[in-house]
Structure 1
Amino acid sequence: MKGFLVSLLLAVTVFGAFAQDIELPRPAVKSGVDLLQAIKDRRVSKAFVKREVPASELSTILWSGLGMRAADAVSSATKAGRNISFSGDNAYINVYVLTEKGAWKYIPDTYKLDFIAKGDLRATVSKASVPDAAIMFLFTVDNALMPSFLKGNPGIFQQMANATAGFAAQNMALVANTYKLATVVQYTLSPAGAASALRLGKDEAPLFIMQAGYTE
């Protein structure tokens, strides 16, 4: 019985052993919530009640934004792709997960959070950080993966990157809503602080943050 309770605790508290990589459970296949109802009920907030997000729910939220899905029969794609489309078929958008315990990078192919750093780095990334938020998601673009046809027009690529990351954030916000989480997208951030705190590569640039948490 004791062993079962320990296993259950580890399964529920995703950031329990925070200074390491985290293997997320597979995302859910159903939510039980109508899409139009989720859109109608979506909550935006900058005030939260401190409470951790269960691993299963976090996995599904991340998957909805940048996760992998089967080949697209409509476009006759021959291989699996992401839940959002990428011009040039290059997955140039990344998402990072920051909590009061540390920071991780989401790896969609393996349902994994790669550990980056210990401690609460959210205020370093953005002065809009809310300490009681469960999670700060940081969206970035890897400019090294810019499609070849846009090499001569980086301005258009920047617009495309923000739009693509926005699609991911919208998916994530709607799924978060089904788990009773409120979200808020913000563009207040420190590019230098984010790059240093999350050890971003020289071609990777922060775009915006989305904070998520419970309101009751």
Structure 2
Amino acid sequence: MTEKALIIGASGGIGAALVAELDRKGAEVTGLSRSGDGLDVTDEDSIAAHLGRLDGPFDRIVVATGALEIGGAVPEKALKQLSGISMVDQFRLNTVGPAMILKHGLRLLPRERRSVFAVLSARVGSIGDNRLGGWISYRTAKAAVNQVVHTAAIEIGRTHKQAICVVLHPGTVQTRFTEKYVGRHPAVPPADAAGHLVTVMDRLTPSETGGFFDWAGKPVPW
């Protein structure tokens, strides 16, 4: 049976690479994005309308939206740089958006067979792994979406016994999203990141639903 996949954020660096990788593997891929389809993940009505027009089930749904800078606000290096508006903007895009996609996308998952619902998060959203500080708004929004997915996985598991609902850290990827922040950190092209992420998703089991995994499939501390 041909896999059906849905990529939210299909015009971004990682999202477009995921579309290409899954297409290469023979999947029937549907992509949605702001630039291509007018999907605004900060607007629940937009999410409901776009997902409401789709016919499932989808074997794989990946939320590849997000941003490190919103409205010109760069990641904070100190508490004195915090802005309430910037924090809310981060939550709207990086936390509330994926939460609403989960809400309206649940009906698109099959009940009787394996499926994956993955949200791209970031290692900097890990509280246990945080040793450097800084980037408070972005870190907090990512930590919050990790909790959203973990909590949703518990509920989804009651009705979709073979569903795998996870957050994934793609590693540092060479995109416009990261070009100012890569520095000396090793980074991989989007195509490589997509290949790693698909491999991780393919190897996960329902017993691992609700987890947080990196690009190599290793658990990331909460």
Task: Normalising by structure 1, report the TM-score.
Answer: 0.30
Higher strand share: 1
Look at both structures and tell me which one has the larger radius of gyration over its CA atoms.
1
Higher helix share: 2
